[in-house]
Structure 1
Amino acid sequence: MFDIDFAFLNLIRMLLAEFVGTFILIFAATAGPIVNQKYNGAESLIGNAACAGLAVMIIILSTGHISGAHLNPSLTIAFAALRHFPWVQVPAYIAAQVAASILASLTLKGVFHPFMSGGVTVPSVGIGQAFALEFLITFNLMFVVTAVATDTRAVGELAGIAVGATVMLNILVAGPSSGASMNPVRTLGPAVAAGNYKAVWIYLVAPTIGALGGAAIYKLVQLQEHEVEPPRPTRSFHR
C-alpha cells in the first residue's frame, strides 16, 4: 500500500512539474510575438527566438530532474515509442501539457488583450512548405533532445543549453514562415485563446512525425556500449 501511495505521489509531482514548466514555456514563447505585435516589432525575430529558447533552457535546468521537462506532446510520444518513457503515463503528461498551454494562453489574453492574435502560429507560406518546415525543425529538436537525454556519452549537464539553443536556431530559420511551433501545445493553447484554428492540423501532425523521426535517426546512429573504443592512455611528452 505504501509503495502504491508513494508511486502515485511521485507521479503527481511529475505532472505538476510538467504543468508548471509547460505553462512557463507557452507564456514566454507566446508573449514574445504578442509584445512584438503590440509595440511594433520591439522584440524582433531574435527576441522571439530568445524568449522561447531561454524559457526551454531554464525549465530543463529547473524541472528536468523531476519530470524530464518534455513540455511537448510530440516529445512525450517519441520518448514512449523508443521505450524511454512508459506509455501508461503518456495521456496524463499530454493532459498536463494541454491544460498548461490553454491556461497560459488565456492568461496572456487577459494581460495583453486585444493583441493575442500575434501569438498564434499560422503559416505565411503554402501548406506543404509549412508542413515540411515544422517536420524538419522538430526533427532537429528531437535529434538533439534524444542525444542529451538518452545517451550517457553526451554532456548531460549542458542539456538545457543544447536544447534551448536548438529551439532558438529553429525559430530563426522557420519563424517567419511557419511560426516555428515545434510543439502541438505551442499552437493549440494560443489558437483556443484567440479563436483562430487556421491550419492547426499542421502543428499537431508535423511535429509529432518529426519528433518520431529525429528520435529514431539518433538511435540509429548512436554507438552502442560495446562499439566504443576504450580510452587510450595519454601520451606523455616528458622523457
Structure 2
Amino acid sequence: MACIAFGRCDDSFSCASIKAYLAEFISTLLFVFAGVGSAIAYDKLTSDAALDPAGLVAIAVCHGFALFVAVSVGATISGGHVNPAVTFGLALGGQITILTGIFYWVAQLLGAIVACFLLKLVTGGLAVPTHTLGSGVGAIEGVVMEIIITFALVYTVYATAVDPKKGSLGTIAPIAIGFIVGANILAAGPFSGGSMNPARSFGPAVVSGNFTDNWVYWVGPLIGGGLAGLVYGNLYMCPSDHAPLSSEF
C-alpha cells in the first residue's frame, strides 16, 4: 500500500519547499493566463456566442502547449504539478506529504486568481469566461466526465513523470501531459468544459464572481486524481518507490 504521510513543519517550511511553492504559483499563473487568455481571445475574435469546432481545437491546443511549458519549467523545482488534482493524486499515492500538498494548493489557487486578474487588467476589462456544463448536461454527468478525464491526466503523470521505472520516457513527460490535457479538452469540452483542474476553474470564478456549478470542477477532478494515485501507486509501484518528501516533489 502507498504510504500516505502528513509531513513535518520543518520540511514543509524549508528553503526548498518555499521555492517549490513559488514555482507552483508561477507555473500555474503562466498556464491559466495562457489557457483562459485563449478563451478570451476567441470570444473577442468571433461574434459567435457558442464555441465552434475551430475554437474548441484552438483552445485545446493552447492549453496543451501551455501546460507542457508550465510542467517543464516547474519540474525540477516543485515537480510541476500546476493542478490541485495532481497534487491530491500524488499525496494519496505517497509521493508528497499532505501538509506540503496543502501549501501547493494555496500556491496553485493564488496563481490562477492572479492570472485571471491580470487578464482582466490587460484586456481592458473583458469578461473572464468560467467553466460551465454544456447544454443538456447535468451536474452528475459533468462530475463523471471530470472524474474520467482527470483520472487519465493523473495516471499519465504517474506513468511518465513519477514512476522510477519510466526510464527515458521521463524526458517526454511534459509533452505527454500536455497532449492528454489537449485531447481531453477536445473530448469533454462541449460537455463538462474539460477542466481537470480545480485551480483552472476557481481562478475565473473568483474574478468573474460566478461560482455556478464550480463545485463540479472540484469534486470530479479530485475524485479522478485521487483514484489514479491510488490505482497506480498501489498496483504498479513498489513500497520503496514511495518517498513523500517535499524536497523531491
Scaled to the shorter chain, the TM-score interval is: 0.7 to 0.9
- Identical columns (%): 34
User: Which whole-Å CA distance do the structure 1 matches of 2:39 and 2:142 have between them?
Assistant: 18
Per-residue deviation, 1:147: 0.8
Name the counterpart of 2:201.
Answer: 187
Indicate conservation of the 8 Å contact 2:93/2:234, yes or no.
no
Per-residue deviation, 1:50: 1.1
> CA RMSD for the aligned pairs?
2.1
Q: What is the one-letter code of the residue matched to 1:204?
A: W
2:165 to 153, 162, 169: 153
2:27 to 2, 21, 24: 21
Q: What is the one-letter code of the residue matched to 1:61?
A: S
Structure 1 residues not aligned, in runs of 5+: 226-239
Name the counterpart of 1:91.
Answer: 102
- Give the match's secondary structure for 2:183: helix
Between the two proteins, the alignment pairs up a number of residues equal to 221
1:59 and 2:73 correspond: no
Counterpart mapping for 1:1-239 below 5 A: 8-40=14-46, 44-117=55-128, 119-124=129-134, 125-154=137-166, 155-222=169-236
Per-residue deviation, 1:129: 1.5
Indicate conservation of the 8 Å contact 1:116/1:194, yes or no.
yes
Which structure has greater helix proportion? 1
When residues 38 and 144 of structure 1 are mapped into structure 2, their CA distance, relative to the original with a 3 A threshold, is: same
User: Which whole-Å CA distance do the structure 2 matches of 1:34 and 1:131 have between them?
Assistant: 25
User: Which whole-Å CA distance do the structure 1 matches of 2:149 and 2:29 have between them?
Assistant: 22
Name the counterpart of 2:242.
Answer: none
Name the counterpart of 2:244.
Answer: none
Name the counterpart of 2:247.
Answer: none
Select between 121-130 and 199-208 the one with higher mean Cα deviation.
121-130
User: Which whole-Å CA distance do the structure 2 matches of 1:75 and 1:62 have between them?
Assistant: 16
Q: Which of these two proteins has the greater Rg computed from alpha carbons? A: 1
Indicate conservation of the 8 Å contact 1:21/1:71, yes or no.
yes
Indicate conservation of the 8 Å contact 2:163/2:237, yes or no.
no
Select between 211-220 and 194-203 the one with higher mean Cα deviation.
211-220
- Could you list the structure 1 runs, at least 4 aligned residues long, displaced by more than 3 angstroms after superposition: none
Instruction: Please give the TM-score of this superposition, normalised by the length of structure 1.
Output: 0.86
Per-residue deviation, 1:74: 1.4
Q: What is the one-letter code of the residue matched to 2:179?
A: A
Indicate conservation of the 8 Å contact 1:57/1:161, yes or no.
yes
Select between 39-48 and 50-59 the one with higher mean Cα deviation.
39-48
User: Which whole-Å CA distance do the structure 1 matches of 2:163 and 2:100 have between them?
Assistant: 22
Per-residue deviation, 1:113: 4.5
Q: What is the one-letter code of the residue matched to 1:76?
A: T
User: Which whole-Å CA distance do the structure 2 matches of 1:111 and 1:143 have between them?
Assistant: 36
Per-residue deviation, 1:156: 0.6
Which structure has more relative contact order (CA 8 Å, sep 6+)? It is 2
